[in-house]
Amino acid sequence: MDNEVLDFDIGVGVSSGGDVDDDAIDIEHQDGIDEDDMLDSPMPGFSVGNSDAGNYFPEGDLLDLEPYDGLEFESEEAAKAFYNSYARRIGFSTRVSSSRRSRRDGAIIQRQFVCAKEGFRNMNEKRTKDREIKRPRTITRVGCKASLSVKMQDSGKWLVSGFVKEHNHDLVPPDQVHCLRSHRQISGPAKTLIDTLQAAGMGPRRIMSALIKEYGGISKVGFTEVDCRNYMRNNRQKSTEAEIQLLLDYLRQMSADNPNFYYAVQGSEDQSVGNVFWADPKARMDFAYFGDTVTFDTTYRSNRYRLPFAPFTGVNHHGQPILFGCAFIINETEASFVWLFNTWLTAMSSHPPVSITTDHDAVIRAAIMQVFPAARHRFCKWHIFKKCQEKLSHVFLRHPSFESDFHKCVNLTESVEDFESCWFSLLDKYELRDHEWLQAIYSDRRQWIPVYLRDTFFAEMSSTQRSDTMNSYFDGYINASTNLSQFFKLYEKALESRLEKEVKADYDTMNSPPVLKTPSPMEKQASELYTRKLFMRFQEELVGTLTFMASKADDDGDLVTYQVAKYGEDHKAHFVKFNVLEMRANCSCQMFEFSGIICRHILAVFRVTNLLTLPPYYILKRWTRNAKSSVIFDDDGLHAYANYLESHTVRYNTLRHKAFNFVEEAGKSLYTCEVAVVALQEAAKTVSLAMKNEVTRIIANGHVKESSVTGGKLMCCNEDCQHELPAQLEPEDEMDKKINQLRNELELAKRKCEAYRTNLLSVLKEMEDQKLQVSIKVQNIKISLKDSL
């Protein structure tokens, strides 16, 4: 077979050489790559995982052909493919070692292909000498001399000019050849199958299992799971880059249609695109009303989903999830998240939230510490529970009671001490003290265990239920198979559905008065202020007070501590500290601080202290039916009676509190009791004199009014004082009568102005209600028109 020409029609790429000087013959060495140096990338000169060309396998008489001097090939690529096919059959990997160029035109005229174990690793390389190597790679080069040299003839064909057969190392058996770099290649049919399975949401491991079954063994697949993973990653990157352009076109159109639509792109839109953020006008307006707590949901970043999509969400006055903006996360570095959070903050008029909830992620935490240093950062408890099922699957299988015990420890402990004790008891019970993941989440306990977070507002109805905002706004619309081309339509459908539910809740609140369960003025007051959903939650707490007893546990002057518990359950008591003068109470359960809804324990204390209406402090506007109203209503004008009851109650409670202390001390002996009686008699005289002096002062200041209700009698003008003035103090002088008449006319004018003001506020309130009803009707018409189309 002298000078036999072998023509292999294949599509293997050529290893490129560097620029050369035409005046010299250059020798190029490519000996800087070890067998294990680039396991995740293609070998120079071969298209591992990135070409549709397959490896060449000789057929027929060429099956057992061994290279020899004088063997000719039609091209350099054919020679390279032949040697690599020979290497696969024998059991070693190849690479390009050196090349030689013509001094005339710089064309390559000589190549040397060697065993991948040729030479030795250069330990003085720049990439290693200036830095510490944390995980040194295995030495793979052992100085093997096996090689094939070819040079180009004047005819254009390539001739074998040297062949070294012997190796100084063991060869790889046939069932392991597919692991060698130069033989790892994803064929066209395999790519098609990977693309199909990836589109269905399968991961690399499951796809490799399907390929092994399809081809009849891992050795026949021709590549490893690492190659499959890299191919899928490249696919995803190319697909994302193309789809991001669709997203940018969509955002540009939305911005052109509405100038209040906000979007921003990290980097240049014309070059490499980073993260993308957008927020529609409704999202920005909703944040102004309900932006006190925010959830940044990165669920869709996971491998299960094809979209790097992350929405910012919150909770409206009906307890429904609302949208504060969306992001596409292409780059997941800390700097990129810092950019994203700063951009979102700019879109929301630079008003940071009180609290923010995210997935358990160290990079996101670092970015939040920079952008929202004052916000309380919480990790999503339910995501941690989900991760727990993965990390402790063996414990779940072996101990069915572990899940219940874990939930009780996290959700039902009432204090930090209770949680700490319960946690370590749990670890000891199931022998998990040394579990690394449990140690990690325990170190972060202040950011996800409820008992550490109850002092901060998160707008949740209960500390034990799942937040509706996390991974729920787009539930039912976006799933694991959703791609970006489908995303826009589903995104808009989700927005329409959420708006429809909010309109329905507004309609129910305005047109379906709730049924009251008690004669309490407080319940009636709450029914007129809260939305229907929030009132039902308040009513649950109010009715719950009927089973609780509040007893005084400590009295420190103006601050009284009450023990609140069910009868016979003092060991489960909560403690309420009540400031009599400020009419404020704090409960050990911290429900009001956490959810903005007053708890049954504080309501029980209000009941025993004769507080008939909710103090304004306990009515958060964000939970009321007027949460989105721009009109500021004057509580003094609209709720004068409630304010009168409240101020009267404050005075009554203050006097009663001090009187109880006085009686308790005076009754300890007969002597102190007699002294107290004398003191009370003197006090009664002092109070009577003070009332007369107050009336005299009021007349001197001109604060006297004539009441038609009292038959023309003079009454004190202090709104909190309804005492009739003594007749002997009525002025008799004509001049005084004239002055008093003018003062009465002035007071009458003031009362008329106040009446006009109250009427105006009522008209404005009615206009707001009508505006809301019109909005509801418009939305219903839009929905009906869409349904008809």
**Sequence ranges of the domains in the chain:** 71-121+138-175, 184-257, 261-496, 513-623
Structure confidence at residue 133 as a pLDDT band (50, 70, 90): low
Residue with tokens 């953020």: 277
Residue 558 reports pLDDT greater than 50: yes
Residue with tokens 């939970």: 623
Please give the order of strands across the beta sheet that includes 559-566: 548-556, 559-566, 574-579, 584-587
Q: What whole-number distance in Å separates Cα of residue 414 and Cα of residue 579? A: 23
Kind plus residue range of the DSSP H or E element containing 677: helix 670-700
Residue 266, CA distances (Å) to 61, 275, 284, 326, 332 in order: 60, 5, 20, 14, 12
Which pLDDT score, from 0 to 100, does residue 469 have? 42
Structure confidence at residue 425 as a pLDDT band (50, 70, 90): very high
With 0-12 / 13-18 / 19 or more C-beta atoms within 10 angstroms meaning exposed / middle / buried, residue 322 is: buried
Q: What is the pTM of this model?
A: 0.62
Spatial neighbors of 544 by CB under 8 A, at least 6 apart, are: 600, 603
Q: What whole-number distance in Å separates Cα of residue 384 and Cα of residue 523? A: 38
| β-strand pairing of 559-566 with 714-716 | unpaired
Q: What whole-number distance in Å separates Cα of residue 577 and Cα of residue 584? A: 8
CA 473 from chain center: how many Å? Answer: 12
Amino acid at 435: H
Contact 577, 585 (CB under 8 A): yes
CA 447 from chain center: how many Å? Answer: 13
| Higher per-residue confidence, 176 vs 6 | 176
Q: Which of 118, 77, 80, 116 is nearest to 95 (CA)?
A: 116
Q: What whole-number distance in Å separates Cα of residue 139 and Cα of residue 117? A: 9
H-helix segments, 121-165: 126-129
Question: Tens digits of per-residue pLDDT, 45-104?
Answer: 333 333 343 344 444 445 567 888 888 888 888 888 888 888 888 888 888 888 888 888
The Cα angle at residue 559 between residues 553 and 563, in degrees rounded to 5: 25
Q: What is the mean pLDDT of residues 369-374?
A: 96
Structure confidence at residue 246 as a pLDDT band (50, 70, 90): confident
Question: Tens digits of per-residue pLDDT, 489-503?
Answer: 888 999 999 999 999
Amino acid at 594: F
Residue with tokens 């009295």: 555
CB atoms within 10 A of CB 253: 11
Q: What is the mean pLDDT of residues 687-709?
A: 60
Q: What whole-number distance in Å separates Cα of residue 309 and Cα of residue 300? A: 5
Question: Tens digits of per-residue pLDDT, 202-223?
Answer: 778 888 888 888 877 766 777 7
Kind plus residue range of the DSSP H or E element containing 693: helix 670-700
Which pLDDT score, from 0 to 100, does residue 127 have? 52
Q: What whole-number distance in Å separates Cα of residue 151 and Cα of residue 158? A: 5
CA 292 from chain center: how many Å? Answer: 14
Question: Tens digits of per-residue pLDDT, 302-320?
Answer: 544 456 788 999 999 999 9
Give the least confident one: 124-138, 382-396, 521-535, 567-581.
Answer: 124-138
Structure confidence at residue 761 as a pLDDT band (50, 70, 90): low
Spatial neighbors of 153 by CB under 8 A, at least 6 apart, are: 72, 159
Residue 724, CA distances (Å) to 696, 700, 729 in order: 13, 16, 11
Q: What whole-number distance in Å separates Cα of residue 192 and Cα of residue 196? A: 6
Residue 681 reports pLDDT greater than 70: yes
Q: What is the mean pLDDT of residues 483-489?
A: 79
Average pLDDT, the chain: 78
Residue 444, CA distances (Å) to 383, 424, 440, 454, 713 in order: 14, 15, 7, 16, 70
**Going along 580-724, which residue ranges are E strands?**
584-587, 704-706, 714-716
CB atoms within 10 A of CB 304: 12
With 0-12 / 13-18 / 19 or more C-beta atoms within 10 angstroms meaning exposed / middle / buried, residue 607 is: middle
Residue with tokens 């959070």: 341
Q: What whole-number distance in Å separates Cα of residue 369 and Cα of residue 366? A: 5
Kind plus residue range of the DSSP H or E element containing 539: helix 532-544
Which pLDDT score, from 0 to 100, does residue 51 have? 37
Which pLDDT score, from 0 to 100, does residue 458 have? 94
Q: What whole-number distance in Å separates Cα of residue 667 and Cα of residue 379? A: 56
Q: Which of 145, 91, 99, 141 is nearest to 120 (CA)?
A: 141
Which pLDDT score, from 0 to 100, does residue 639 have? 46
Q: Which of 416, 414, 393 is nearest to 403 (CA)?
A: 393
Residue 705 reports pLDDT greater than 60: no
Residue 700 reports pLDDT greater than 60: no
Amino acid at 340: L
Structure confidence at residue 169 as a pLDDT band (50, 70, 90): confident
Q: What whole-number distance in Å separates Cα of residue 111 and Cα of residue 88? A: 20
Residue 362 reports pLDDT greater than 80: yes
Quote the tokens at residue 25. 């013959």
Report the SS3 class of residue 363. helix
Residue 472, CA distances (Å) to 43, 322, 383 in order: 45, 10, 13
The DSSP result for 420-460, as a single string, is HHHHHHHHHHTT-TT-HHHHHHHHTGGGT-HHHHTTS----
Which pLDDT score, from 0 to 100, does residue 501 have? 92
Q: What is the mean pLDDT of residues 761-766?
A: 66
Q: What whole-number distance in Å separates Cα of residue 212 and Cα of residue 186? A: 13
Helices 521-529 + 640-666 axis angle, to 10: 140
Residue with tokens 């299992």: 209
Residue 590 reports pLDDT greater than 50: yes
Q: What is the mean pLDDT of residues 650-670?
A: 74
H-helix segments, 4-160: 76-90, 126-129
CB atoms within 10 A of CB 107: 10
Spatial neighbors of 283 by CB under 8 A, at least 6 apart, are: 322, 323, 324, 325
Report the SS3 class of residue 275. strand
Residue 470 reports pLDDT greater than 70: no
What single-letter DSSP state applies at residue 629?
A: -
Which pLDDT score, from 0 to 100, does residue 75 have? 87
